[in-house]
Structure 1
Amino acid sequence: MEKETKRLIESRPAPDSTSAPLFHDSSQSPTAKRLQYAFVGIVVIMVLISIGLSIYRGAVTGVNNGLYFMLGISLIGFVVIEIFLIRFIRNEDLPKEKSWFLYFVGACVILEAIFTNVLLFDEN
């Protein structure tokens, strides 16, 4: 028994220094993962502000109520696309190397949120 255990221990390869750590995804470092969470958090905050303002503006003004609500709903449509992208990357249906597209769509959502806020409070 001891001889067999000793043989198994000796035949086991030495740990490789290039192997990925066990505590995080091999394709992302902890810093990259934190930056991704921060970016998604910023997108969520911008979208919530814009949707809240569109509901407020639609409820307060009597003119073009539907237009203000539609601005918020169109923003939700882009967020759904962003959520699908996150799920595709997490389920590995989309390669991790294509995660730049997640940031591109997120930047487009942020721009649309800014433009929505500008249109919501245009006085003309």
Structure 2
Amino acid sequence: GIKGTSGDPWYVVDKDLEQNRLIVAQGKNHPELFKPTLLADDLHWINTTPTLPLPCHARIRYRQADQACTLKAIDNGIARVSFEQSQRAVTPGQAIVFYTGDHCLGGGTILS
């Protein structure tokens, strides 16, 4: 985050490329930083493609605890991931990795 005069850092919540604007929120626990769902593409599976919808666990950052979620297909290789608990700072372009127990199923790239 970027430090402001009031103490708490500011974080980018969204980008409006058409209007050339950044949408920001102050404080690392601002509600706008938390998302219950995300879209992912470029999915790759380690063994076989799972049957969807699939209850599983996912990680969206290194060393994060596994997060309970449901993976659903949408269209054109895009999947919707719905988390039981909203996730902080879902970042497009970053990886998402799916697990069942200790087994890594595969992963993809976060779209939004």
TM-score, L = length of structure 2: 0.25
TM-score, L = length of structure 1: 0.23
- Whose strand fraction is larger, Structure 1's or Structure 2's? 2
- Whose helix fraction is larger, Structure 1's or Structure 2's? 1
